Structure 1
Amino acid sequence: MVRQARAVATRQQIITGAARMFEQSGFEGASLGDIVDGAGTTKGALYFHFRSKDELARVVIEEHHRTSIDTVDAIANTGAGSLRQLVMLCHEMARQIVHDPIVRAGTRLTLEFSGTADAPAQPYIDWIASAQKLIESGIARGEIRGTVDPPTLARFMIGSFTGVQLVSQVLARRRDIEQRVDEMWGYLLPSIATTQDAAELAEVRVARWTPPAEAVTATADPSVDV
């Protein structure tokens, strides 16, 4: 049992170390030697758990994807309205991309692999599907205008968030990402919400989800200065 727990811990240590290298240098720039050094382990331990750098990169993307889907489910469990859930989801994704090295690496790798034949499209497919489900629920509950086309809005919302975080990274190393996501919703909410009451829309814009303290501690990256 102790050996199994140690193996699980070592595997996660390698994934986290690899994530930091991929986020810093990209897939091509991160050598296996860099990953081993960054993880503080051995090449033998790495090959015990992963057959190649390609497999390791795919696992990082999968872990990022799993984190995102878990976040969707956790926010759904709050019982908040659909518009608030959409806002909370974007802001939580922004928080994770700043503080979680696996999320940052998964984001970079997904974009890097987007031009390949086996591009990892599933994360975006699932994010869009989750947003579409919330939008359809919002229309049914009278929060979102019935003239809105859910698939189109879902794709636009995820695309907008992707662009906002990317530009924030280029111009400000994501230090202003919360402000930029808030600005995105400042333009988007009045065009899709049934209410036009400024106070009510402002209340929706400040909706946030607070993850459990242990989850924040587990994913916090002390190397990030924000």
Structure 2
Amino acid sequence: MSRPTQERAVRTRELILKAAAEEFDEKGYAGASITKIVDRAGVTAGALYFHFQSKQGLASAVMNAQSGAIEPLIGSEGLQRLVDITLVWARQLQVDPVLRAGVRLAVEQGSFGLQDASSYQGWRTIMGECLHEAARKGELRPEADPDRVAAFVVGACTGVQLYAQLLNGRKDLTERTVHMWELLLPGIAVPDVADRIELDGERGKRHDDGGVADGGTGG
């Protein structure tokens, strides 16, 4: 496959993924239509099935695209990076259909015959990497196991966003995420690091102007 052909294939796949996310976000898996997805993407059904073998495969791809909507936006390190991931995530859930659809499908997947924990495991891996780096930098309490904390944060974020979605359509998800960290940080971070971690919800919005969350004061 030549380079221009490869680039076209990548663009086509991205168009399909975005169109599918918009359809899944609005209508859920059961209500989403392959025909509507093809129309939204401006591609043929053949192109869709070239990249994704089925509607279920397309849903899996959307679920597993979540971290790609978050990680490239963040430039901080260690514990601050983990906090920033959750703050950007809270912001993006309100504006990014790929992320919203991925979360919705991950929660509803049992209803369409999937039991795929890979999106959750992906977040756990990313968060674990942040926490292991934080441990190497001396940011964590000795008793705070990075992998156990990562698993807990994934579960906590899942619960926080579901609760916020039911209450008010996630309008206060950033504030709830900040409150989560206010409760969690004293138990996992050494005191001087816990005191200087930035919990400003505005950190989740910095990418809107083309920037990224900076290194902060976490290191």
Q: TM-score, normalised by structure 2?
A: 0.78
Instruction: Select which of 186, 200, 203 maps to 1:206.
Output: 200
Q: Deviations over 1:27-62 (max 9, x none)?
A: 122122332343344445434543321222222223
Q: In the TM superposition, what are the counterparts of 1:65-104 in structure 2 within 5 Å?
A: 65-68=67-70, 71=71, 75=74, 77-78=75-76, 80=77, 82-104=78-100
Q: In the TM superposition, what are the counterparts of 1:157-168 in structure 2 within 5 Å?
A: 157-168=153-164
Question: How much does 1:215 deviate?
Answer: 8.7
Q: Secondary structure at the match of 2:65?
A: helix
Does 152-161 or 53-62 show the bigger shift? 53-62
Where structure 2 has 5 or more consecutive residues not aligned to the other structure, the ranges are 213-219
In 2, Cα distance between equivalents of 1:191 and 1:154: 13
In 1, Cα distance between equivalents of 2:211 and 2:4: 23
Please provide the CA RMSD for this pair. 3.1
Taking CA–CA contacts closer than 8 Å with sequence separation of 6 or more, which of the two structures ends up with the larger relative contact order?
2
Instruction: Select which of 117, 127, 140 maps to 1:131.
Output: 127
Question: How much does 1:74 deviate?
Answer: 6.0
Q: In the TM superposition, what are the counterparts of 1:1-226 in structure 2 within 5 Å?
A: 8-68=10-70, 71=71, 75=74, 77-78=75-76, 80=77, 82-113=78-109, 119-195=115-191, 201=195, 203-206=197-200, 208=203, 210-211=206-207, 213=209
Where structure 1 has 5 or more consecutive residues not aligned to the other structure, the ranges are 217-226
Q: TM-score, normalised by structure 1?
A: 0.76
Q: Is contact 1:19-1:101 (8 Å) kept?
A: yes
Residue identity (%): 37
